[in-house]
Structure 1
Amino acid sequence: MLIDASALTAFYASEAGSRELLRPIEAASIRAISPLGLWESAMALARIFSRRPGEASADLERFILRFRVEILNVDAEAARLAVAVHDRCGEGSHRARLNSGECFAYAAARQHRTPLLCKGDDFSLTDIEAA
């Protein structure tokens, strides 16, 4: 499964419903995240907890190690897919209003043919398989 920044951030920030996000993470045989999603989550957690981004990133690295999450490479195909999904579902063009990080999460999930774990309704308005 591909873990979106929204799920990772919600889990670390102990948002409502975040405990339910842990079950599919634990059950998945393959776990991955886009490097942009990891960055996006570190920036969000730094803002939420008034910490330096590097400190938030260190916490996320522990999560990555604990759950053996692969940080995917972003290649040309991922970039093309992200641009295409932004054309269809991006901010200003679709009700999902996917931002840049979400477009790359969608692209990575599509490229690797894996479901996407996220929090919120943005991706439910797209054709991506939910984890």
Structure 2
Amino acid sequence: MMVVDTSIAIAIFKQEFDAEAYTLQIGRHGNPLISAATLLEIGIVLSSWKRLTASEVDQWIENFLQKGQFTVVDVTRSQAKLAREAYARFGKGSGHPAQLNFGDCFTYALAKERGAPVLFKGDDFRHTDLVAA
């Protein structure tokens, strides 16, 4: 089990040099998890590029979820609390090097709650108390 961050979906969408490695890593882990809030963030990022219509964004996300055999986890009250705590501790403007954004905090909360490693791209989660996948 592992939690997948928005940064991975975007790397795969953009077919970045490491996209195939991330795809393989997702496939190797049984039951990859993704927060419902992460799906919103993926949609916002993809829509902001104005290359895709809303229905194309939805279709890409659905294909991504299906190919990766993801379990989408609804945001719970306890996750919302963990996300708020993460933002206070690691969020943008906190002075902490992680500088987590809104979406990152939901990935953090899900991983923290489940005791799962996080698959991410970049350095933000490396500066937290989570384990990298």
TM-score calculated relative to the size of structure 1: 0.93
The Cα of 1:49 is off from its aligned counterpart by 5.7
Where do 5+ consecutive residues of structure 2 fail to align?
Answer: none
Say whether residues 1:103 and 2:102 are aligned partners: no
The alpha-carbon distance between structure 1 residues 15 and 47, as it changes in their structure 2 partners (threshold 3 A), is: farther
Q: How far apart, CA to CA, are the structure 2 residues paired with 1:97 and 1:85?
A: 10
Q: How far apart, CA to CA, are the structure 2 residues paired with 1:21 and 1:66?
A: 13
Q: 2:35 maps to what in 1?
A: 34
User: Which of 122, 125, 130 lines up with 1:123 in the alignment?
Assistant: 125
Q: How far apart, CA to CA, are the structure 2 residues paired with 1:27 and 1:57?
A: 25
Q: How far apart, CA to CA, are the structure 1 residues paired with 2:124 and 2:25?
A: 19
The aligned amino acid for 2:113 is: Q
Q: 1:91 maps to what in 2?
A: 92
Correspondences of 1:11-26 after superposition (within 5 Å): 11-26=12-27
Q: How far apart, CA to CA, are the structure 2 residues paired with 1:23 and 1:89?
A: 29
The aligned amino acid for 1:65 is: Q
The answer as to whether partners of 1:13 and 1:45 remain within 8 angstroms in 2 is no
The answer as to whether partners of 1:43 and 1:53 remain within 8 angstroms in 2 is no
The aligned amino acid for 2:86 is: V
Q: How far apart, CA to CA, are the structure 1 residues paired with 2:39 and 2:117?
A: 17
Q: 2:79 maps to what in 1?
A: 78
The Cα of 1:47 is off from its aligned counterpart by 2.8
Q: Deviations over 1:2-26 (max 9, x none)?
A: 1101111111111232222112101
The aligned amino acid for 1:98 is: L
TM-score calculated relative to the size of structure 2: 0.92
Correspondences of 1:58-77 after superposition (within 5 Å): 58-77=59-78
- RMSD over equivalenced CA pairs, Å: 1.3
The alpha-carbon distance between structure 1 residues 13 and 89, as it changes in their structure 2 partners (threshold 3 A), is: same
Q: Secondary structure at the match of 1:88?
A: helix
The answer as to whether partners of 1:43 and 1:56 remain within 8 angstroms in 2 is no
